[in-house]
Amino acid sequence: MRSPQPSGTPNGAPGTSPVGEADTGQSWDIAVGPAVRPAVPGAFAPDDTAQGAPSAALLRRVAGFHESGVRSARFLWCEDGRWARCGLELRPGTPGTVALTLSPLPGPPSGLTAREIDIISLVALGLSNREISSRLGTSIRTVTTQVERLLKKLGQDSRAGVSALAVDRDLIRLPIPGGVEHRSGIRVLDIERHSATVSAVAAPTRRGGRRGGRDTLRIGTIAVSGAFAADGCETAQGAALAVSDINTLRHDHGRSVEHVTVRIDPLDEESVRTGLATLVEADVDAITSSYASALSPAVFEFAADFGRTFLHTNTWTRSVDAVREDPRRYGHVFQTCPSETTYQAALLAYLRTRPTPGDHAHRLAVVELDGYGCAVTDRNFETRVREAGWRVTSTHRVGLTVEHVDELIAGVLADRPDVVVLSHLSVETAAELQNAITRHSPNQLTYHIYTPSVPGFARRIEHGGGQVVWSTVTGRPDDPLGRRFTESYARTFGTPPGRSQASAAYDQVRMLHAAFSITGSYHPGAVGGYLRESAYRGVNGTYLFADPGQSVTGYPYGSGDQSLSQPTLTYRLSGDGQEILSVA
């Protein structure tokens, strides 16, 4: 096995990364204050200077950030022709300390040129074409043409749209050509304004080094908590079992795995911030996660900025689209399951298996969580349902919590649907909806998306005379691998695993370990290249990231090749347990 090589380049230059892939990030704690000792030549250890310690110009922006009073900010940093994404955040509980993360880029992001980034930044500052031309030393006509070209390139109708896009996508570059004189309302620009006059000094106090001297593989796992704690337990325990199995099987020359688990409530910003900061502090080499990045956009953006390999089961098609459209920023992000469109395909397949009722047409009602990656409906849904011989009587989109559940369900059942579809991520909310259906119509057939995979669901529902059927895009089959995993999990934790996240998390860790071991590298570019070019067979099926969006496909609805995809499974839930149905 080759010795692991540190990521990055000897001089910190980002240009040597493979095209379309972000280099690894570096992080520091920065002390800010009037009495802080400024950085002087030779203040950093040889390894620090080799990896590109923060420059004096960047440290001035850190001091300006501290002076501005905002809690966090992200922007592009360009110095001496080298580009990077920069993140600044106040260290909670540590006054006068700013966490600085610097993630080198091969060049300007999003397919833009350096001049276009400058113009975007100056437009966001509110400057006219004449003022921009003066700062850039070019003609007004040239700037006018460049702005018009940018509007088309970015799909915007106005300069205000460009400004909003610059803030939303962190496209504002510092230093700003010509500086910032007045308050702008955009916090990144206020950092630049304060940095010109700040008297406080900023200096690194401790470097969050990339690898130090360790030769182990350190994997971080994000386990959701709060309303999703039951799922988070499955994720944490499945990943921990994989780490235990790897470390038990390795011999003297194998690579051991260290495991860092953080539990975050994706609906609580402070919980998210604290959990992600823990992963940075631990200097993890890769991250596994369930659907935290669907519930909290900050998690998905953190994955992009942190620059380490990130595996998730967030089924939201928006996440796949982001990877496909911006591989330079998201090239190290992989979705280890099919997307939510597979839910619809599995439902339609199930509907086609239902016998024709004798006295009325097939009726279907839908209660669906609005967003977050578990959608069944789309603009073509009713047409496809009609083609399957059914009719949609009503569609109700709800939030993560639902008020007046009985009133909602009474409306859902008013047209006597043959099947009620419940699509939700919260076990408690899904069970509450199911129990309301059972109270109103004990013999009602319901079809759930994903949530019954969590063991706590079956304990929460009241079983009437009807049936509960459900499907998942990533699930544990009843084959030898699935049975072996189930036995090992139950033996270790004293309870059987659920049908989805426990085995998915187990597969993620084992797959990462294989990628790091075979490549012999800690560089996300090498690890990501291996994941894109190889297929891995795990408990939940085969993981192949051949799609530009870097998500796996499902059999039989997304791929006809069962050996290179994950089976999309449909289960029937009863008081006796769960059984897999054949519906394809």
Model pLDDT, residue 84: 87
Residue type, 210: R
- Report residue 357 CA to chain centroid gap: 43
515 and 287 in contact (C-beta within 8 Å)? no
CA distance 509 to 445: 37
Maximum mean pLDDT: which of 39-43, 51-55, 131-135, 573-577: 131-135
Percent of the chain exceeding pLDDT 90 equals 57
347: nearest Cα among 450, 491, 486, 198: 450
Model pLDDT, residue 36: 62
- Lowest model confidence (mean pLDDT) among 104-108, 256-260, 267-271, 527-531: 104-108
Model pLDDT, residue 251: 58
CATH of region 341-472+572-581, choose from 3.30.300.30, 3.20.20.450, 3.40.50.2300, 3.40.50.300: 3.40.50.2300
Model pLDDT, residue 205: 63
Model pLDDT, residue 111: 84
**In the structure, what pLDDT confidence band is assigned to residue 508 with cuts at 50, 70 and 90?**
very high
- Domain-by-domain residue ranges, the chain? 14-208, 217-336+479-519, 341-472+572-581
CA distance 259 to 242: 10
Model pLDDT, residue 90: 85
DSSP state, residue 8: S
User: Does the pLDDT value for residue 45 go beyond 50?
Assistant: no
Contacts of 476 (CB under 8 A, 6+ apart): 482, 485, 486, 497, 499, 500, 502, 503, 539, 540
Give the pLDDT confidence of 234-250 residue by residue, as tens digits. Answer: 999 999 999 999 998 87
Give the pLDDT confidence of 536-568 residue by residue, as tens digits. Answer: 999 999 999 999 999 999 999 999 899 999 999
Does the fold of domain 341-472+572-581 match that of domain 217-336+479-519? yes
Give the pLDDT confidence of 225-236 residue by residue, as tens digits. Answer: 999 999 999 999
For the segment 278-300, the average pLDDT, to the nearest whole number, is 93
In angstroms, what CA-CA distances link 442 with 412, 431, 434, 437, 448? Answer: 14, 14, 10, 7, 16
Tokens of 378: 């789309």
Model pLDDT, residue 4: 32
CA distance 112 to 110: 5
**In the structure, what pLDDT confidence band is assigned to residue 7 with cuts at 50, 70 and 90?**
very low
Maximum mean pLDDT: which of 54-58, 194-198, 357-361, 568-572: 568-572
Which residues, in sequence order, are bridge partners of residue 204? 30
- Lowest model confidence (mean pLDDT) among 20-29, 143-152, 419-428, 486-495: 20-29
**In the structure, what pLDDT confidence band is assigned to residue 356 with cuts at 50, 70 and 90?**
low
Query: For all residues of the chain together, what is the average pLDDT?
Result: 85
**In the structure, what pLDDT confidence band is assigned to residue 204 with cuts at 50, 70 and 90?**
confident
Give the pLDDT confidence of 301-333 residue by residue, as tens digits. Answer: 999 888 899 999 999 999 999 999 998 889 999
User: Does the pLDDT value for residue 399 go beyond 50?
Assistant: yes
Model pLDDT, residue 141: 93
Percent of the chain exceeding pLDDT 70 equals 88
Superfamily name with CATH number, domain 217-336+479-519? Response regulator (3.40.50.2300)
pTM listed for this prediction? 0.67
Alpha carbons within 13 angstroms on the beta-carbon side of residue 471 total 32
CATH class of 14-208: mainly alpha
Model pLDDT, residue 454: 92
34 and 201 in contact (C-beta within 8 Å)? yes
Rounded to 5 degrees, what are φ and ψ at 222?
Answer: -95, 115
Model pLDDT, residue 49: 33
Alpha carbons within 13 angstroms on the beta-carbon side of residue 113 total 8
* Better-scored residue on pLDDT, 47 or 324: 324
Rounded to 5 degrees, what are φ and ψ at 156?
Answer: -115, 150
Residues in the chain: 584
329-355 in b/e burial notation, b at 16+ Cβ within 10 A? bbbbbbbbbbbbbbbbbbbbbbbeeee
Tokens of 529: 């290249």
User: Does the pLDDT value for residue 364 go beyond 90?
Assistant: yes
Model pLDDT, residue 25: 61
Instruction: Burial-class residue 575 by CB neighbours within 10 Å (0-12, 13-18, 19+).
Output: exposed
Tokens of 369: 């969580």
228: nearest Cα among 274, 265, 260: 265
